[in-house]
Structure formats: C-alpha cells, structure tokens
Structure 1
Amino acid sequence: MEPTTGLILRRITQTELSVSAHKLATVILDAIAWKDGFNGLPRGTAAFTLTDLAAKMGISRQYLTELLSELAASGLKLRREKPNGKFAPWLFRFAAFESEAASRDVESATGDRSLSIEKNNKTIFFGQITIGADSNVFQTVWADAINSAKGALPCWNVDTQLIWDRFIAFNRARGNDKVPAGFLLGFMRRWRTSLGPAPLPEAQSQPPRVLEPKEQELLDRIKAAPTSNREFHASDLCRLIGEAAYEARILEVIRDFGCPRFSASLAVHGQAVLTGEIER
C-alpha cells in the first residue's frame, strides 16, 4: 500500500509527541515529494536546510535539533541525511512508512490522495529537449526547472547555465538530437557520482580512458545498486546488520576508494546485492 498525506498525518496525530514536534512533523510532511522527480527529490522525501526549517518553525537551531531527535526516536522514525555536500540541504523522510507492515494499521481510503494529485506535486521534467536549439538556458523553458530541482541534488551549488552547457555537450557527444526531459533530471542527479567529467564534443576522437582496477571495482559495485532504490537498500541493510555496521561499511569504502559518501553508499548497497544479503 502506498503511503498518502492523510495516512501519514493520521499517524502523526496518533503518535505521542510534544506540541512543537507535532508541528515540525506536519511542516516536513507538507514539503514531501509525492512523485519521484518533484523538485529533484526522490519520492517520499523533503529537503530543508536547518536554518530554513528553524525559521519556518520560529525556533532556535538548538531547539530544532531536540525536536528532530524526538521525531527520530518516535514511531514516525524521522530520518535525515545530507548526501550532496556540507552546505547542501538535508533530506528528510518518515522511515516508518517504508514497509507495508508499518502502515497496515492506518490504511487510507481510496480517495485519500488529494495532495498527491495536485499539479505542483508532479514531476516538472516532462516533454522533449531539443539538443543544440538554444545556447542560453534562460531563453528556454528549462531554466526554472533546473533552478527548482538543483537545490536538493549534487549540483545544488552549480550555476544553472553551466549545468545546461554540460548537459548539451554530453548529449551532442553522443549524437542525440532530442531526448526526454527526464534525462536532464537524471544528469543532474548523477553530477557528482560520475567517476569522470561529462565528455565534451571535442573529446569524441580520443580513445576512452582505461579505468584503474580499483575504479572498475567501485563502478561494478555501484552498477549493482540502482540509485532509484538506494533508500530501500539502506533500510534493508540497516535492519539486517544494524545502523552502526552499515555506517562502518560506508566509511570503509570511502577510505579504500577515496570516493564521495554518495558513491560509497551505492557501492555498499551493490556489494550487498552481489553477495545476496539484500535483493536488487
């Protein structure tokens, strides 16, 4: 059963929390993406900086931290992570709704999907992008989409025009004349996870770089764990081996391969899939 706004809201009201923690939970719920790709977020997550969240609540950062801890320890199991760098927004989700068993006691009626079907909860990347038609992104319809989405993605601090230029160059190098708009979102999501820079047109005639054994090993692990399922892989592994052991695996990959945390988490998930600990 898919979680809905009403389902989560009922669980919030049924959970024993302080008044402020209840309010914080509803603020986070209000910003949750109900469709994968809304504002660049995975389905079921919301993005805030702690400064913005404290401002919305009208409280101090210190008190906000206490409320977040309260929600994390509650039946809602609020989880947060910052996969895109020190200054990027935090991603929040209610982990209690990631398994069917956790939400069985608060099933929603079929009509309880009002916020899920509103236009502003749909993906903003739809249609086709013609490659090479415009060199200035601000003369296209895609500038606003990039600006809206990048705040929660690895390219959060990259100039919008640069993102567009790299995307156009990436597709020209592959001979693409027109691509689905979703390709742009996927390109932005993988901004830092690529082991090398996006290929430029003039590099077409150059032979591909041969990967070092360690690079190839890391890439093979990452390929085994699709990024769209990484939240579920993390939850499955944490339930299986514990959060401490899960964190230790990520740190070990970072130390051994010198890669960013996001790539390390995918490698850990991929290795677990390859060894049969979790399913793909």
Structure 2
Amino acid sequence: MPIVMKGSEVAAAMKEDMVKKVSELKAKGIVPKLAILRVGSRADDLAYEKGAIKKMADIGIECEVHELAQDVGQKDFEAEFNKINSDKSVHGILMFRPLPKNLDENAVLEVIQPHKDSDCMCNANIAKVFSGDLSGYPPCTAQAVIEMLDYYKIDLTGKRVTLVGRSMVVGKPLAMLLLKRNATVTMCHTRTKDLAGTCRGGEILIAAAGKARMITADMVSEGAVVVDVGINVDENGVLCGDVDYDAVEGKTSYISPVPRGVGSITTSVLAKHVLRGAGAQFN
C-alpha cells in the first residue's frame, strides 16, 4: 500500500514553526498582518478566503478583507490597492485574480512592494524564482508541492520528475523550484506527443494541468511518487484531481489525494510568506 501524503500533516508541522515565529515577532512589537483584496464575490474566491482567514487566526496572524464591488472603476481600485500597499501594518497582500475585465491589474502589480507580494504576483518575485534566488516568494501552490515532498522526506536530487502543466501559477515556477533541488525535470502538457510514455519515465509525477482525472494507470510507472495539484469538478459535481486516484493508487509508493492534499497546504505557505514579509519589513 502506498503512503498517502496528507496536506493536513504537512500544515500541522508548518504551524508549529510559524506559531513560534509569530511569538518572536510580537515580542519585537510586530503584529503580522495579511490584507486580502477581493473584487466581487466569486464562490471560489470566497471559499479560499474563508480558509485563509481561519489559517491566519490559527497561527496568530491578523487578517483584514478589502472587498470592492464587481463594477469598481480603475481609479478607485488602484486607490484601494495603494492604500494597502503603503500601510506599514500590512506585511502581506493577497489579491484574487483574475480581476473583472474592466480592470487593469498590471497597474498595481508594477508597484506592489515585493516583500508584501505573498503569492508571487510581481515581476520582481517571478524573476527571483526563475533565477533561483531564494529571497523571492514563489506562488503558494508551487511552494506547497515542495513543502509536501520535504515533509515526506522525498529527496529530489537527481530524480527524474515529470511535470504535467505549464502555467505561471504552478507549472513553470514549480519546475524552477524542482531544478533548484537538483531534480531532472521534464515539462509536458496536454498537447505533448506520447504523454503517457513521458509520464511513465518519471520517478516522480506531478499533475498540474487542470483536467479532471487525466492521469490514468497506464501513465504511471511502478513505485512512482504521484503529486496531484489539480482541483476540478467532474461531470457528477464531485471534486477531484488531475489523477484518476482509484486507478493509479496501487502502482504508487507515495500519492497525494484531492481534496486534502496539496490544496490543504497553500494557505500555510501564504502564512509563511506573510511572516517573511513581517521580518523583512522589520529588518
């Protein structure tokens, strides 16, 4: 039977370290704070926001939500963002994207303070991730995969990793994080020729393409480590990942489920980045 990599166990281990860090910061007179900026009220944004607020409270980080109407104008949107960005009591900013089509997000991404950019929105942090500079803030989901592999003591050095997905939110930055750990990374996607054969070549297979149950048993080598980053809803309204879990599980040595897998770690990474921002601002 494979080891099921549960996000709750990873998050619990991270929490212990972060609670200690919060105490150290508060002893210096710093109260860590996350500001969430949300335009409109999309159901997925509200669900993530609820989880983020709970996570921050559990760790001891303050959290404030700035909600703007769906039809807010560019001028008012930028004014609200700039107020948060210049607020010295705020150490991390989470802005839900995509924004409504009437808003230009580049106007604010160009001015966000990099140490407050908790989910890697600005070019400065993206560049650091791609150059291997550890002072950058990787996207929370990409970093969550690394946190999971570290917790389960899966050494990446020299390992063949097949990564399915090429988005700037997960695939591309995650490839850079894996390379930083000396993995040998093969990137592929839904249009890759002989995708099944390419996937079978990976000792570690990471699925992040956003297509329900696309990774089937014939695509997984015996004893592989399988990390499922996908969050999908199938034709029956059931939440599932990019991996056909029931079909694949028996072939793996380690496998992460959906839900209760990588997604359970992302808000912990967000909190970790807020604490880094608080420390950076203090220094």
TM-score normalised according to structure 1 size: 0.29
The structure with the largest alpha-carbon Rg is 1
Give the number of the structure whose residues are more often helix, by fraction.
1
Give the number of the structure whose residues are more often strand, by fraction.
2
TM-score normalised according to structure 2 size: 0.29
